[in-house]
Structure 1
């Protein structure tokens, strides 16, 4: 077996008893269990399911922890740890919990685990992007019996089931089964809240999911073990080994060499040769992932990495933000850099998803108009910027940033690119080191309110809005429209309001959307996987043909 290993199924043609005798006689190794090796495109930042609202983290957490409501690959919902749920009235939801579900430590799942989980979410320290975005609407939570949870929201909140689908339930055995009482102002328990380090070590990594925690070695591997007591369909694999191989070329090379069985996001340059090799196959789907540019609009002074003749912040002027957008040739990026595995952006989500403005065209390229707007804004000779980007997080992210830099140069904006690993990027972004940067957002709810609330809504810690609004954009009209949408139970009315808010964000160019990723997976031809719009890699859904 090589360093990274192969998926193997060993079948013996003889009866098991004879096989055992023969193996003993020959001194052979015992039969090896089924193992799946996955090459990850981005490393999860923690095993803590509530630490970081980040697709790699949620994707990993879903193997160990389960939410009350689960998402299908197309973002439709189905029961999870709640066997049923319903809205009793516009502000009250009832969740009936599954019985006879066990956590990995053998303790029984019940309503107290749910209360403990939701109480724990706002206590996680140093979260780069907190899950409170999805819990702030909850006013009350109670358990009238061990298998019923009642959730009351401050206002009508139709997206509650969608949003809590990202919150994995943890075991109250971590706090010795202490009874928990939910409080909007903060729950109080006698035990110490579990830390992120407790989850990383495995001490607190106790879920109900199809896999158990095996090992977490940052920068090297994540090992998951099959949960043989799982309440649902048992996974094929006895063990799953996930290795972060953030260099895309190395990731593809690992697949071609047989070191891994399945990889995320093969490079667009390598997809043709993978397809041409009968040993492998590609699956792909348009995702909710939008790649965009964020501009620091927090101060009148030029932010880090931005140099202007007058020392002012050019991004405060909507004409400058629109000029930057007009300088970008999105179709060229999609065709030449993304190899067709993307769609040019019109707004913060692709039109096929709920709440988008279907009338918006692809954002236009117009170099002459961009120069005119810059001159009107007081920058006829442009200015200088450094565009920050991760180089291992999104498909061809650093190459996209380089292309954008060249396009900006054509309108007089001298642009350097500062590319770095995602871990370095996230650390520096938290310190507001960047005046302008490239990043992405995957809408976990599968509809427009997710990027609007997370990226461009005015920062509001009470609501949990603006959790990733590092540019500190703010617009009262957009906020008001979004607020109305989030209080509207009727789907058609809510869709209209979200579309209005989306259009407003583009009129003001709150952030600059570039493209929507078409997420590819590559795997051995002996494997099946249904591509997901949420970009999650779920080992239990990888099956032998």
Structure 2
């Protein structure tokens, strides 16, 4: 409350500052982009920066971008048509040859390290430039998820690359007859930062600072902004103070408490957008028992579906959304955000602590049991407070909870080593509504890319049959049906408990219009002058 009052005072005394330039947009990120090299890293900050400069065949919202369209000509052949007339920043035309070159660069391990999509390209058998504006992806087996994966394949120009004359022959190692690829340093110095995006890179610093200039040869809608300046300010209070001081025009991730300060001053506003990130609990349902979970009779409580249902009934999701987020969170009814394109319709999850106690007694735990509950303290907005609320709700129905909030680095290590019986986690869904459940709850299937993050030890023949059918289905309507079947199975069994869908929030000058994005990225294309 003290922080809120001080911010309100600051907001009341600071008039809307004049901007450094009416055509310069100054943005403050909450986390630093790791590089301008589009290949090695994921994460919203890096993606937010790089997509100013580089573009993919498919946009983040699944619409065509550099591709004007695509179709499966067989279960293992995807043909992509490129837009005509697109120019790179160096003036070269975009052609299918550039796509093959970029696929080779993505498959290639630099210094033995995988790129963002290296493992995802394992099912790709060949990438062929059919003609200047047609590229064909051939897969070893049906791999419909490649359409979603293509949004992460940033397209580089082959015109300045060390590529032999003639067609580029793709190979799974990414060698492709190419003598040398640009290094990360080449990108960060600007020599290789040549894309088709709406901005060119002027400078980049690993501290999280970057400067961009509008590319007037851009094929799409021109930006309102001649220049874009990106700074990284990790502290939320410092970001807001920078906005009020006139250092920034837009900032990421103000806190719930900060929103009152913004509402108190007509010169500022905030934009909230439901994101594709689900926040949920994961439980180790191994019948042999789970780490940190103990019962008087020595049994494995989390292996019992009645216990998991009771835990779900004990949690008041609406109160979490309203009280901890001021309404800037959406109550979850399934693991994928219900508003994600292709998501099935699932019933609302009840809050009924009386019924929860009854189910615990029916399951054989009238006096509850004890459980260690792990949560990262520095990963999700209000994450520690959410974990405290969940602890209270579970305690009220008789479960003894030992909450352990930890730095992400510690938490992530323990999760990887499977030392957590119950933990709080978040997962984005840029690749569609099956993304999280296909990784987190499927039985391990390396060939189909399923189950690599199954820390719950969940196994269900019904779920696995549906998710395996989805993994090879190129007909979208049928694929959506398989996702619905899989979601119904996992929501019945509850190896995890959905809590809410996170919102992304941006604070900004009130004379700017901001169209928020569900993928949590911050981009100059979101921001226009009123």
Question: TM-score by structure 1 length?
Answer: 0.80
Note the C-alpha offset of 1:339. Answer: 0.8
Q: Which runs of 5+ in 1 are unaligned?
A: 11-33
User: Which of 49, 60, 66 matches 2:38?
Assistant: 49
**Counterpart of 1:274?**
262
**Alpha-carbon distance in 2 for matches of 1:149, 1:67:** 13
Check whether the contact 1:390–1:397 (CA below 8 A) recurs between aligned residues. Answer: yes
Partners of 1:166 and 1:444 within 8 A in 2: no
Give the counterpart of 1:327 among 310, 314, 321.
Answer: 314
Q: Tell me the distance in 2 between the aligned counterparts of 1:151 and 1:500.
A: 29
8 Å contact from structure 1 (residues 371, 412) kept in 2: no
Counterpart in 2 of 1:440? 426
Across the aligned residues of Structure 1 and Structure 2, the Cα RMSD in angstroms comes to: 3.6
Given the superposition, is the C-alpha separation of residues 55 and 312 from structure 1 closer, same or farther in structure 2, using an over 3 Å criterion? farther
Give the C-alpha shift of residue 386 in structure 1.
Answer: 4.0
SS at match of 2:484: helix
Matched, 1:116 2:101: yes
1:286-337 deviation digits (Å, cap 9, x = unpaired): 222211123456895644x667779987655545544433332211111110
Check 1:377–1:56 CA distance in 2 against 1; reply closer, same or farther (3 A cut). Answer: farther
Are 2:500 and 1:511 aligned? no
Q: How does 1:485-504 map to 2 (within 5 A)?
A: 485-504=470-489
Residue deviations 1:361-389 (CA, integer Å, cap 9, x gap): 22544365257438837794522414121
Partner of residue 277 from structure 2, selected from 275, 279, 289: 289
Structure 1 SS opposite 2:219: coil
The reply on whether 1:38 has 2:27 as its aligned counterpart is yes
Structure-2 separation of matches of 1:371 and 1:7: 61
Contact 2:376 2:383 in 1 (8 A): yes
Q: After the TM superposition, which residues 518-533 of structure 1 pair with which residues of structure 2 at under 5 Å, given as runs?
A: 518-533=503-518
Please tell me whether the aligned partners of residues 109 and 115 of structure 2 are also in contact (alpha carbons under 8 angstroms): no
Q: Which moved more, 1:333-342 or 1:178-187?
A: 178-187
Segment of structure 1 superposing worse, 98-107 or 260-269 = 98-107
1:527–1:543 CA contact under 8 A, matched in 2? yes
2-structure distance, mates of 1:353, 1:273: 31
Q: Look up the SS of the partner of 1:348 in the other structure.
A: coil
> Judging changes above 3 Å, is the alpha-carbon distance between structure 1 residues 368 and 541 closer, same or farther for their aligned structure 2 residues?
closer
State the match for 1:225 in structure 2.
Answer: 213
The match for 2:83 among 77, 98, 103 is 98
Classify the secondary structure of the residue corresponding to 1:444: coil
- Residue deviations 1:62-110 (CA, integer Å, cap 9, x gap): 2121011224xxx361x32223433434543322223453434555432
Could you say which residue in structure 1 is the equivalent of 2:138?
Answer: 152
Describe the shift of the 1:69–1:281 C-alpha distance in structure 2 as closer, same or farther (beyond 3 A): same
SS at match of 1:180: coil
Residue 401 (structure 1) aligned with residue 387 (structure 2): yes
Partner of 1:169: 155
Q: Is residue 328–residue 404 contact of structure 1 (8 Å, CA) maintained in 2?
A: yes
- CA shift at 1:195, angstroms? 5.7
Counterparts of 1:100-499 in structure 2, within 5 Å, are 100-124=85-109, 130-131=116-117, 135-154=121-140, 160-172=146-158, 175-178=161-164, 180-183=168-171, 188-192=176-180, 199=187, 202=190, 204-296=192-284, 300=288, 302-303=290-291, 315-366=302-353, 369=356, 372-373=359-360, 376=363, 380-391=367-378, 393-410=379-396, 411-420=398-407, 429=415, 434-445=420-431, 447-471=432-456, 473-499=458-484
Are the structure 2 counterparts of residues 471 and 269 from structure 1 closer, same or farther at C-alpha, using a change threshold of 3 Å? same
Q: How many matched pairs? A: 510
Secondary structure of the corresponding residue to residue 501 of structure 2? strand
The DSSP-based 3-state class of the residue aligned with 2:251 is strand
* CA spacing shift, 1:408–1:224, aligned 2, 3 Å: farther
Match of 1:21 in 2: none
Tell me how far apart the structure 1 counterparts of residues 251 and 56 of structure 2 sit (CA, whole Å): 25
Q: 1:355 to 1:385 in 2, by over 3 A?
A: same
Give how far 1:60 is off. 2.7
Q: What is the alpha-carbon distance in structure 2 between the residues aligned to residue 512 and residue 363 of structure 1?
A: 12
TM-score scaled to structure 2, two decimals? 0.82
Is residue 109–residue 118 contact of structure 2 (8 Å, CA) maintained in 1? no
SS class of match (1:324): helix
| In 1, Cα distance between equivalents of 2:354 and 2:460 | 27
Give yes or no for contact 1:346–1:363 (8 Å, CA) kept in 2.
Answer: no
Return the offset for 1:225.
3.4
Contact 1:291 1:440 in 2 (8 A): yes
- 1:514 CA displacement: 0.8
Structure 2 gaps, min length 5: 1-16
| Distance in 2 separating the partners of 1:52 and 1:298 | 33
Cα distance in structure 2, aligned partners of 1:186 and 1:474? 36
Residues 215-224 or 344-353, more deviating: 215-224
Shift in CA distance, 405/52, structure 1 to aligned 2, threshold 3 Å: farther
Secondary structure of the 2:59 match is strand
Per-residue deviation, residues 503-537 of structure 1 (Å, max 9, x unmatched): 11222223321101233322111212212222322
* CA–CA separation in structure 2 for the residues paired with 1:276 and 1:508: 46
Per the alignment, residue 67 of structure 1 pairs with: 56
Which among 82, 88, 94 is matched to residue 73 of structure 2? Answer: 88
